[in-house]
Copies of this chain bind each other. A is one copy, B any other.
Amino acid sequence: MTNTTPLPNDLQAQRDAFHAELQDMSIIPLWLNLGAAAQTEPRVEGVPHIWRWRDIKPMMLRGGALISPQEAERRVLMLINPSFDRKSARTVGMIFGGIQFLMPGETADSHRHSPNAHRFIIEGEGAYTAVEGERTIMRKGDYVTTPAWKWHDHGNDSGQPMAWLDGLDLPFVNLLDANFFEDRAEGDSPQQPIYRQAEDSLHRWGRGMRPTWKEPARTDLSPLLNYRWETCRANLHALRDEVGSPFDGIIMEYTNPLTGRSPLPTISAYLQLLRKGEHTRAHRHTSSTIYHVAEGAGGSLIGGQEYLWEEGDTFVIPSWVAHEHWSTGGEAVLFSYSDRPILKAFGLFREAFAGQEG
């Protein structure tokens, strides 16, 4: 549309009438909407953002005083990307992050849903998650999975409050119009029956072996309930003398032992060590990531803006926004999760970095 000569009034009027009629028919001419179809590069809707633990924690305590457990049902603070509607449940890309608190004596009743979920423990120790007859007592830094449509419940039998970061593919499942939720049946116990020992799934699937007499129904869902902080951190430390990734340092992905792939089909999760003085190279890629600072402090340059972070903070990097990370004053460990498996499943994952092209 290089012709910018004003149209005769008459023609313009006819066009306006024509377009209005089309709109009434739920038809939009491509020539009025080319941008929606043809984009040189993605127009990313989400923006980078950081939520600081020092801000969140006091709000949650205040919430505890203002809202009773019965009213809250679950004390989750949903982290919603500033550029999205609250109903979208989008923290960034296709994933959701929320901070959940569980006070001493509180429980979350057994239920299941088609979205996949996991949690990364921020503070406290002693609450449990139960899935498929096994209960795991959670501790700071643990990565705990509750895959799609598996019954799960939580409870805090300890004397201290616990806080964790909930991760879900909720925006994705909502956009696909495929979100189902089921509460325990009338009369069932609020907590599922426990018929497995502690660490059962670890021995059953996570230690280099598998029982042969019972296959899991779905292999794309990790059968491991808890990826322990001490183990995962030790893995990172064992590889600390490697060069590692130029973009991420010593970064390891949590894996599903049934397939070697991500624990949840839609969400990949990572733990990464930024060594003392390490500053990674910038890159960008078509996947969106939620980061949580598990240990130490540092900063990230995201889309040209600097974000400094410390233990407990949560921040997001949208698709195709350039980013680099560094540690400050020693080592730092970042937990992160991403919608990358969705993009990879369809050949939509791209990565670029300076010096790569040209």
Measured CB to CB, the residues of A under 8 A from B are 1-3, 11, 14-15, 18, 21-23, 25-31, 33-46, 49, 51, 55-56, 59, 62-63, 66-67, 70-82, 86-89, 93-94, 98, 111, 113-114, 148, 168, 170, 173-182, 197, 199-200, 203-204, 206-213, 218-221, 224, 227, 231-232, 234-235, 238-239, 242-245, 248, 250-260, 265-266, 270-271, 286, 288, 318-320, 339, 342-343, 345-350
Contacts and interface: CB of A to CB of B under 8 A. Distances in A.
A348 B51 CA distance: 31
A318 B176 CA distance: 10
Contacts of A204: 235, 238-239
5 contacts: A36-B170, A42-B177, A178-B286, A204-B235, A211-B250
B266 A346 contact: yes
B176 A209 contact: no
Given A26-B82, A178-B42, A257-B257, A265 B207 contact: no
Contact of A175 (B1, B66, B94): B94
A310 B186 CA distance: 48
A29 B76 contact: yes
A238 B37 CA distance: 37
Nearest to A259: B260
A266 to B, nearest CB: 5
Given A18-B62, A26-B79, A178-B286, 5 more contacts: A23-B86, A26-B49, A177-B318, A265-B345, A342-B346
Copies in the complex: 4
B209 A271 contact: yes
Given A170-B37, A203-B238, A260-B257, A63 B176 contact: no
A206 B231 CA distance: 11
Contacts of A45: 177
A202 to B, nearest CB: 8
Given A86-B36, A211-B242, A211-B252, A29 B77 contact: yes
Closest 9 CB pairs of A and B: A177-B319, A203-B238, A30-B76, A213-B245, A209-B252, A258-B260, A178-B286, A178-B348, A28-B78
Contacts of A81: 26
Contacts of A170: 36-37
Contacts of A89: 33, 36-37
Contacts of A253: 209-212
B347 A220 contact: yes
A211 B224 contact: no
Given A1-B73, A260-B259, A271-B209, A286 B177 contact: yes
